[in-house]
Amino acid sequence: MNSFSLNGRETPFETGETILEVAEKNGVNIPSLCRLKGVEPIGNCGVCVVEADGTHVLSCSTPVHQGMKVRTQTPAIVAARKERIKALLDSGNHNCAIGSAGSKSWSTFQQTVQRSDGSAELCPAWGDCRLQDLAYEYQVSGGRAALSTRTYPRESDAPLIIRDYSRCIRCGRCVAACNEIQVNAAIHADFLSADPELMPGKAYPVAKDNCVYCGECVQACPVGALVEKKARYHYRPWKAKKIRTTCPYCGVGCQQLLHVVDDRIVKVTGVEDGSPNMGRLCVKGRFGYDFIYSEERLKTPLIRNDDGSFREATWDEALGLVVDRFKQIIRDHGPDAMAGVSCARSINEDSYQMMKFFRAVIGTNNIDHCART
Which residues of this chain interact with ligand SF4, rule CB under 6 A? 94-97, 123, 125-126, 129, 131-132, 167-174, 177-178, 182, 184, 186-187, 206, 211-217, 220-221, 223-226
DSSP, collapsed to helix, strand or coil, labels residue 144 as helix
Please tell me the distance from the alpha carbon of residue 197 to that of residue 193, in angstroms, as a whole number.
12
What's the closest the beta carbon of residue 77 comes to ligand SF4, in angstroms? 21
Closest CA to 52 of 1, 2, 3, 5: 5
Q: What DSSP element (H or E) covers 148? A: helix 144-149
Residue with Cβ nearer ligand SF4 (59 or 280): 280
Residue with Cβ nearer ligand SF4 (173 or 255): 173
Residue with Cβ nearer ligand SF4 (5 or 373): 373
What's the closest the beta carbon of residue 290 comes to ligand SF4, in angstroms? 18
Q: HSE on the CB side for 274, CA within 13 Å?
A: 17
Please tell me the distance from the alpha carbon of residue 188 to that of residue 205, in angstroms, as a whole number.
5
What's the closest the beta carbon of residue 76 comes to ligand SF4, in angstroms? 24
What's the closest the beta carbon of residue 158 comes to ligand SF4, in angstroms? 9
Residue with Cβ nearer ligand SF4 (70 or 225): 225
3-state percent helix, strand, coil for the chain, nearest multiple of 5 = 30, 20, 50
Please tell me the distance from the alpha carbon of residue 151 to that of residue 199, in angstroms, as a whole number.
11
Q: Which is it for strands 310-312 and 302-304: parallel, antiparallel or unpaired? A: antiparallel
Residue with Cβ nearer ligand SF4 (72 or 196): 196
On the 0-12 / 13-18 / 19+ scale of CB atoms within 10 A, 176 is buried
CB atoms under 10 Å from CB of 191, counted, come to 20
CB atoms under 10 Å from CB of 167, counted, come to 26
Residue with Cβ nearer ligand SF4 (182 or 256): 182
Q: Which is it for strands 226-228 and 241-246: parallel, antiparallel or unpaired? A: unpaired
What's the closest the beta carbon of residue 258 comes to ligand SF4, in angstroms? 20
Residue with Cβ nearer ligand SF4 (86 or 173): 173
What's the closest the beta carbon of residue 99 comes to ligand SF4, in angstroms? 12
What's the closest the beta carbon of residue 348 comes to ligand SF4, in angstroms? 27
